């Protein structure tokens, strides 16, 4: 932002906010040790705390029986402040989908969604309170950006989900051998993850480092979804992380994408896709293309064919998302026949395609519905 430009209301609010308190999940192993030593404690206390948090999902000093009672309060204050307070929990699908609204230390609100599938348990996390990208079909985008989350605030959403699974708060799956831990994390909640690059990549490190340095989730289980911020995509490519990249395309032509995804005015379809292919080549991971199907807006057969031509021959997978309703939006989901035809045409170009389920719609927990209201 140039200094001569007056701040918008949201930007001014953003700057006034105090930073979230430092948390163990913001720090590397060496940094945690330093904090503990500066307080005059034995360095191995840092790993004990990390073991409690990442291995046993507890930040309650009363549980730390291996740490002298006199030291617990100081260590908790220095490294394990409570970052998230649950405001509401809503469930649907007989408990297999659960949304939590969280209040952060400065009263900002964010949401995460925990979903159990037969073969995996996925948590969808927020990376920002609000979002500044302004996509007109998305509830999160309507209120603008409040602020970036810290790595600790992102990781804490996953730790809570891991704790809930561990404590049996999700009902068991019908099939034998259900997953018993969080296997997937998708950055598809509130916010544009690549607009909060440092915290998001730091959080990915904590999620994937082995216990007790992190939660030990496989990199292949992590998906970062972006509107197509090309410089940050390039940076992620060079990061040495092999997470899955999802690109929210929603239109194969610049004319329509300029409207649906305003950041397209800066980075065009061709450039976004070229960058995505480079990411895929570098990480050897299949790129996901997200495409919300909006009735009579982006679901025409010719757009399916154009998309198919752009994607064919690449290591790619298309997720078609029937548009989820958001308050005040003039758009609605495609007709089932148009959706089927769109998918059929893509498949005809040899492009793998699936239609995403509309999990969590009843609790405003589906894609694009997260607006974090208190009631
Ligand atoms: N900001 C990132 C990640 C969060 S949004 C991004 O845009 O990629 C997660 C996904 O939900 C994106 O693909 C987004 O385009 C999609 N989405 C947003 N609003 C939606 C809606 N109303 N119905 C269906 N999908 C929506
Ligand atoms: Fe932000 Fe993604 Fe919503 Fe666009 S779709 S406003 S980038 S959260």
pLDDT in tens, 290-326: 999 999 999 999 999 999 999 999 999 999 999 988 8
Token pair for residue 264?
């397209």
pLDDT for 357 equals: 78
pLDDT for 4 equals: 39
pLDDT for 360 equals: 78
Q: Which ligand minimizes its atom distance to the CA of 329?
A: 1
Q: 364 vs 103, which has greater pLDDT? A: 103
Exactly one of 111, 153, 192, 290 is catalytic; which is it? 111
Residue 218 alpha carbon to ligand 1 centre in Å: 24
71 backbone dihedrals φ, ψ, rounded to 5°: -90, -15
pLDDT for 279 equals: 98
Section 11-33 average pLDDT:
83
DSSP 327-370: TT-S--BPPHHHHHHHHHHHHHTT--EEEPP-TTGGGT-STT--
Q: 223 vs 141, which has greater pLDDT? A: 223
Residue 336 CB burial class (10 angstroms; 0-12, 13-18, ≥19): exposed
**Average pLDDT score, the chain:** 91
Is there an atom of ligand 1 within 6 Å of 195 CB? no
- Look at residue 287 and give its three-state secondary structure: strand
**Which is nearest to 124 in space by CA: 364, 373, 375, 374?**
364
Note the pLDDT tens digit of each residue in 189-203.
999 999 999 999 999
Q: Name the pLDDT band for 261 (thresholds 50, 70, 90).
A: very high
- Any alpha helices (H) in the chain, and if so which ranges? 9-16, 29-38, 45-50, 56, 69-79, 139-142, 151-166, 197-208, 230-237, 254-260, 269-283, 301-311, 336-348
Residue 228 alpha carbon to ligand 2 centre in Å: 11
Q: In the annotation, is 74 catalytic? A: no
Q: Which ligand minimizes its atom distance to the CA of 130?
A: 2
Q: Name the pLDDT band for 180 (thresholds 50, 70, 90).
A: confident
Exactly one of 124, 131, 135, 367 is catalytic; which is it? 367
The atom number, within ligand 2, closest to the CA of 225 reads 2
What distance, in Å, lies between the first and last C-alpha atoms of the chain?
Answer: 34
CB-based contact 32:49 (threshold 8 Å): yes
Q: Name the pLDDT band for 3 (thresholds 50, 70, 90).
A: very low
Q: Which residues line ligand 2 (CB under 6 A)?
A: 131, 133-135, 138, 140-141, 191-192, 227, 248, 368
| Pocket-testing residue among 113, 247, 292, ligand 1, by greatest number of atoms within 8 A of Cβ | 292
Section 339-353 average pLDDT:
98
Residue 225 alpha carbon to ligand 2 centre in Å: 10
Q: In the annotation, is 111 catalytic? A: yes
| Pocket-testing residue among 126, 131, 138, 192, ligand 1, by greatest number of atoms within 8 A of Cβ | 138
- Sign of the CA dihedral 172, 174, 176, 179? negative
**Model pTM score:** 0.93
Is there an atom of ligand 1 within 6 Å of 123 CB? no
Distances (CA, A) of 333 to 116, 253, 346: 25, 20, 18
């Amino acid at each position: 932002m140039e200094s001569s430009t007056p701040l918008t209301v949201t930007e001014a609010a953003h700057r006034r906010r105090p930073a979230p308190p430092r948390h163990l999940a913001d720090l590397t192993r060496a940094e945690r040790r330093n904090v503990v030593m500066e307080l005059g404690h034995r360095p191995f206390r840092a790993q004990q705390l990390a073991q409690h948090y990442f291995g046993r999902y507890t930040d309650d000093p009363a549980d730390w029986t291996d740490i002298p009672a006199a030291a617990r309060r100081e260590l908790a204050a220095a490294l394990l402040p409570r970052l998230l307070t649950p405001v509401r929990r809503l469930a649907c699908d007989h408990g297999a989908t659960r949304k939590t609204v969280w209040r952060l230390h400065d009263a900002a609100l964010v949401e995460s969604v925990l979903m159990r599938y037969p073969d995996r348990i996925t948590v969808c996390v927020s990376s920002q309170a609000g979002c500044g990208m302004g996509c007109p079909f998305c509830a999160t985008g309507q209120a603008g950006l409040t602020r970036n989350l810290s790595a600790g605030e992102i990781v804490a959403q996953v730790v809570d989900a891991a704790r809930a699974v561990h404590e049996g708060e999700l009902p068991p799956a019908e099939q034998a051998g259900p997953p018993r831990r969080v296997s997937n994390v998708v950055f598809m909640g509130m916010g544009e993850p690549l607009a909060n690059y440092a915290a998001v990549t730091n959080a990915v490190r904590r999620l994937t480092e082995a216990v007790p340095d992190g939660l030990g989730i496989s990199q292949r289980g992590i998906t970062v979804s972006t509107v197509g911020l090309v410089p940050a995509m390039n940076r992620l490519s060079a990061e040495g992380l092999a997470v899955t990249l999802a690109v929210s395309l929603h239109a194969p032509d610049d004319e329509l994408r300029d409207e649906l995804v305003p950041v397209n005015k800066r980075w065009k379809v061709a450039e976004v896709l070229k960058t995505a292919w480079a990411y895929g080549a570098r990480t050897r991971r299949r790129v996901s293309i997200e495409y919300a199907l909006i009735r009579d807006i982006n679901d025409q057969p010719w757009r399916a064919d154009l998309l198919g031509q752009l994607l064919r021959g690449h290591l790619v997978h298309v997720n078609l998302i029937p548009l989820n309703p958001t308050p005040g939006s003039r758009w609605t989901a495609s007709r089932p026949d148009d959706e089927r035809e769109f998918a059929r045409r893509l498949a005809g170009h040899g492009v793998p395609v699936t239609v995403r389920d509309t999990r969590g719609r009843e609790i405003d927990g589906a894609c694009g519905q997260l607006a974090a209201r208190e009631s």
